[in-house]
Each structure stands twice: as structure tokens, then as C-alpha cells.
Amino acid sequence: MIRLENVHKQFGARKVLDGLSLNVHEGETFVIIGPSGTGKSVTLKHIVGLMRPDAGEVYVDNEPVHSATPPQLEAIRRKMGFLFQNGALLNSLTAGENVALPLRQHTDWPEEKIQAAVEEKLSLVDMEGRGDVMPSDLSGGMRKRVSLARAIILAPRIVLYDEPTSGLDPVMSNIINKLINSMKAKLGITSIVVTHDMSSAYLIADRIGMIYKGKLVEAGPPKELLKTTNPVVRQFIDGKTEGPLTAEEVPATGGGRGWRRK
């Protein structure tokens, strides 16, 4: 469904992606972890075609993103929702108008239908009736939730989330985790989720992959990843939890079952 092959990308002298390969299957939630500055956001930007690789290939639904023309890119992007790390709302528009934007750009729906869709998505992220508020009057977590409503408004088959739970309190993080899981279960959505939040990763992931020094160093179901002998991955996941987790502490397949530290 989403495939990166041997992708290289550098900015000036700084090599960020150094032969990154990744394959995400249809209907799967793939979680990407890795240290700050390692190229996780850059990877997502290659998938939506906001960045082009210096070398290598990127496919979404078997369509080449790396070589797409602007109209082809437009068609590919139509299938994808993207939640940016910083929220990226337009400050001149209300929260509701931000959510409505993709509908205004890509559909000719009547106003009434647009408003109903906006309200429905706002209530999904617990922002019911808050459509009139300006982004500058929202907290960071609220802006993130409005961005999420906007990312899913066109009912995309693929959703890319860059740090969906960062800056959210545990209750709200849980709402977002459940939303990601229910979109997978009900709609068969394929997702890539970049996160630093390991408890969220264990709750939502079918597979977790770690990017380190520009490559995918390891990927597998949460339970498999916890058995890793790769010292880099080991150190990262142990450091993110209070001491090493045992395989028994995470669900067998991830994706929606409860995970709780004993």
C-alpha cells in the first residue's frame, strides 16, 4: 500500500535518509519510532510528496509519488489525510473553516452538507460546537484535535499522523488512540503513526518500526520488537518505558487491545 525503496535525502551536507526502505500493508497501522531529528517527519513528507527523494522510490497504492506530476500528485494526495506535527492550522480561519477546507477544495457539496460533516468530525475529536473559535484561542491539544478532524474529513483510505498524542493529556491521548483503532476496524484505514509515546504505540500498532541514522533498523509486531537484541532499539524502547517490558506485557497483535503496565 505504501512502499519506500532505498530512499536517500540530504539537506546541504546533512544526510537524513540514507537508504530507507519501508513497506506498509493495506489496513495496517504502522508506528514509526526513533530519536528526535532522525528523519521521521521527513519520511512522512516523502509519502505525501511534499519532499522528493534525492534517490530511491516512493509508491502509494502502486503509484509513484517520487516522479508524480502535479495533477498526479493531487490525485494521490486525495487518498491521504495528513496530520502535521505542529497542527498547521490557518490562523485567519475559524477551527470549523479549517476542517471544511479540504471539502471546499475537493468537493462541490452544498453548504449544509459541509457544515454537517464538519460538526460530525469535530465531535469525533471531542470538539463539538467549537467550530467558531479561532485557532489562536485554542490550546495546543485542541489545535491538534482540529487538525486531526481536518485530516480525516475527506474519508481518506490512508492517514499519516505525525505525533498525534504529543501535548495531549492522557484522557485525550486515549481518545485519539481509540479513534485511530476504530478507523482501522470500521473503515479499514491504513495508517502510519509517528510517535514518541510508547504506550500509545503498543495500543495501536500492528507493527512498529524504528528509524535510526536514516534507515529502518527494525520492524515487527510490538511483541516481536520487545524481544529485539538490537542494542539501539533495545535502548530506545527501554528508555521510553520504566525499565524493560516483557513480551507478556503487550498484546499479541497490537491494534486495539489493552496494554497496561503491571
Amino acid in position 38: T
* Contact map string, positions 13 to 42, toward ligand ATP, x by CB under 6 A: -x-x-----------------x-xxxxxxx
Which of ligand ATP, Mg ion, none does 16 bind, CB closer than 5 to 8 A by kind? ligand ATP
End-to-end CA distance of the chain: 36
The reply to whether 209 sits near ligand ATP by the rule CB under 6 A is: no
In the complex, minimum distance from the CB of residue 256 to ligand ATP, in angstroms, rounded to a whole number: 25
Measured from the CB atom, the residue of 119 and 163 that comes closer to Mg ion is 163
Please give the C-alpha separations between residue 98 and each of 80, 91, 218, in angstroms, as whole numbers: 17, 9, 37
The reply to whether 226 sits near ligand ATP by the rule CB under 6 A is: no
Extended beta strands in 78-189, E state: 80-83, 158-162
Distance CA 91, CA 87 (A): 11
Cβ 212 vs Cβ 35: under 8 Å: yes
245 φ, ψ to 5°? -90, 150
Distance CA 34, CA 232 (A): 10
Measured from the CB atom, the residue of 41 and 199 that comes closer to Mg ion is 41
Q: Residue number with the shortest CB distance to Mg ion?
A: 41
- List Cβ neighbours of 58 (8 Å cut-off, separation of 6 or more): 3, 4, 5, 7, 46, 47, 49, 64, 65, 66
Which of Mg ion, ligand ATP, none does 49 bind, CB closer than 5 to 8 A by kind? none
The reply to whether 165 sits near Mg ion by the rule CB under 5 A is: no
In the complex, minimum distance from the CB of residue 38 to Mg ion, in angstroms, rounded to a whole number: 9
The reply to whether 11 sits near ligand ATP by the rule CB under 6 A is: yes
Binding footprint of ligand ATP, residue count (CB under 6 A)? 12
In the complex, minimum distance from the CB of residue 196 to ligand ATP, in angstroms, rounded to a whole number: 7
In the complex, minimum distance from the CB of residue 15 to ligand ATP, in angstroms, rounded to a whole number: 9
Report 64-93 residues binding ligand ATP (CB under 6 A): 85
- For the purposes of burial, counting CB atoms within 10 Å of the CB of 89, is it exposed (0-12), middle (13-18) or buried (19 or more)? buried
The reply to whether 41 sits near Mg ion by the rule CB under 5 A is: yes
List interacting residues with ligand ATP (CB under 6 A): 11, 14, 16, 34, 36-42, 85
